[in-house]
Structure 1
């Protein structure tokens, strides 16, 4: 199953704030983590449009595990490398232990420059993941 990934994070190289994965049938995972010290840009442009209450990392990982493990295989598509980094970090449960997932591959995808990834709510991970999916299948 193709899953389209988008993350919001606290400034360049900052911690994960929200993650969305949208499958080919538009079933989705979307969760938000606490962001204690957002940059001013994130405070003004991301936090107001999260549209979901933050949960702790353990709960986030439990929901992610349940979402991912409904598939036999997963092919994750993102248009920014940091999204993969943040996703993979959430798979680490503790020192020496990671989340069990179905067979997983990844694709860093750049849309044709003539195509614009048009999100209904830019900088909202869920809406951006839906937009990535729409753009991918054009």
Structure 2
């Protein structure tokens, strides 16, 4: 298997993301990965559109992308990094979201926004990974958290 340090990826389209993650509509929240640096960091993108089902109730008069889905998108970006770092030859595994710490929401995300999810590995011990995650719109921080995940056999 390839060393994770050599697994820099310039970008990944939705088809590659669907190979890395088991999520599907309406719960696949990452549209594209624009950068992946070995097993160290990753930047994923979500294009927020009014056509998403949660906007019918959150909130009809002033649509706001749910904060919990920002956290989930951070976790999906981190999960894509975990699976990519293992390499295409590795046996199938799933990434289970374990913890959220220090979550803060700084401003609403609305239809038309493009959210960039920056995740950076803080530490890894065996199959447990911990990340700093920041969501940005137009370079401005809209949310942040520490998330951890566990790789398990599929």
Q: Same fold (TM over 0.5)?
A: no
Higher helix share: 1
Q: Which has the higher strand share?
A: 2
TM-score w.r.t. the length of structure 1 is 0.31
The structure with the larger Rg is 2
With CA pairs under 8 Å and 6+ residues apart, which has the higher RCO, 1 or 2? 1
- Calculate the TM-score normalised by the size of structure 2: 0.28
